[in-house]
Amino acid sequence: MKIGAIICEYNPLHNGHVYHIQETKKQGVTHVIAILSDNFVQRGDVALLNKFDRAKLALHAGADLVLELPVIYSCASAECYATGAVNLIKQLNIINLLSFGSSTSNSNLLMQLAENIDFILANYQQEIKKIIKSGHSYPWAIWKLCQIYYGEEQANLLQDANNLLAIEYIKAMKKLNLDLELFTIPRQDVLHDSSETSAKFASASFIRKAILETKQNYFGFIPTETAELIIKKIQENHVAEIKNLESVILYKMRMISESELLNLPDMTPALAKRFLHAKNANSLPEFLENIKTKCFTMARIRRIIMCAILGIQKQDLFLEQPYARILALNQKGSELLAILKKTSNIPLGTSLKKLSNLNQEAKKFAQIEINASQVYGLAQKNIISAEQEFRAKIIKN
């Protein structure tokens, strides 16, 4: 038995994701565990489809067991996202291989880049601050220093968002003293966030845009199961969009205090002042535009907004994940579950209510998940409550 893990959002699940799972299995992997993001994702947005639907699609694509990555981590910086997911993998104490996408098939190159970035962070903080003060973002500062000290080839790897996450996975493994076999698969034909397509592949951002704007045909880039589910959700008005949260966001931003802002993840005093200055904006695009500068990426700004409306504070990022929540499994997943009951350092379960009663940290995690479900229900044209968190039955395939 060889167990592989894939950290994923599947927003939505497309042909590239299916290819990734298939190639992972070719590495001798007998069972695949998917660590799936909550309903709020790393770019500071809502997922088009809820986590239970995405978990079901993951089974169709070849995953055997789907576990939830709590929203505290799923809607966070790349470092926090990766650390939360890798720590969950460590706690399971069963996984042999971590599989992820990148723009290169050379995992050793990514490991070297991760070491180089660690060295930059440890030794060039003053240079980083100087670059940021000159009007550039934190990611750009790291890229620039990497270019100066390690050359164009290494720096260019930082241009791809998948590489950035891959590097954070490697850094998290080192920090958590976790030794896994690494398998990285190059993106097929199209880059992350690319507007270009090939015969079978398109980026998730292209597909999301096509779904929401209904101006381009996207069916050739997604499995039949994904297409059928999306059509159903569109007909039911249960596709989520951030624009449906506009009033909720504007209300929260108008009411929030400076001290509350400073308690949010990724917030700085300078950024908090920009939030307060923009609080009277009359639309979400206007609010975002009034805050954005070269120093602060749009994804970071959106993540902070989401943390504000979900009730996630800086100190929450340091909580240890108290449980692993099962979203879906098949027969091979049931085999894994039987083993995990003996190996896992944290309890596994399907019922959020039962998991919340484990301890105080579990209660905190569960409450934030309920908050997330309440808000996610408002992100759909046909509004729903958070009852799905309690009523959803485990998906078996």
Contacting residues for 70 by C-beta, under 8 A, at least 6 apart: 38, 84, 321, 325, 365, 368, 369
Which residues, in sequence order, are CB contacts of 74 under 8 Å at separation 6+? 9, 37, 38, 40, 41, 42, 81, 84
- Predicted confidence band of residue 199 (pLDDT cuts 50, 70, 90): low
Question: CB of 354 within 8 A of CB of 369?
Answer: no
Per-residue DSSP letter, 321: P
Q: Which residues pair with 302 in a beta bridge?
A: none
Cβ neighbourhood burial of 217 (10 Å; 0-12, 13-18, 19+): exposed
Identify which of 100, 85, 95, 86 has the alpha carbon closest to the alpha carbon of residue 31: 95
In this model, does residue 192 exceed pLDDT 60?
no
Distance CA 273, CA 154 (A): 35
Taking residues 300-318, what's their average pLDDT? 96
Model confidence at 80: pLDDT above 80: yes
**Confidence bin at 81 (pLDDT 50/70/90):** very high
In sequence order, which ranges of 267-350 are alpha helices (DSSP H)?
269-277, 284-291, 298-310, 331-343
**pLDDT score at 156:** 86
Pairing of the two strands 45-46 and 40-41:
antiparallel
Q: What pTM was estimated for this model as a whole? A: 0.93
d(CA 344, CA 33) in angstroms, rounded, equals 14
| Each residue's pLDDT tens digit, 26-76 | 999 999 999 999 999 999 999 999 999 999 999 999 999 999 999 999 999
**Residue of 42, 34, 7, 296 lying closest to 193 (CA atoms):** 42
Ramachandran angles phi, psi of 304, nearest 5° = -65, -45
Confidence of residue 189 (pLDDT cuts 50, 70, 90): low
Give the pairing of strands 97-102 and 40-41.
Answer: unpaired
Residue 194 has pLDDT above 70, yes or no: no
Give the pLDDT confidence of 132-161 residue by residue, as tens digits.
888 888 888 999 999 999 988 888 888 878
Report which of 220, 241, 113, 230 is spatially closest to residue 165, judged by C-alpha positions.
Answer: 113
pLDDT: is 32 or 386 the higher one? 32
Structure tokens at 171: 């850094």
354-362: average pLDDT: 94
Residue 195 predicted with pLDDT over 70: no
Q: Name residue, tokens 């976790």.
A: 178
How far does Cα 172 stand from its chain's mean position? 15
Residue corresponding to tokens 């590489």: 163
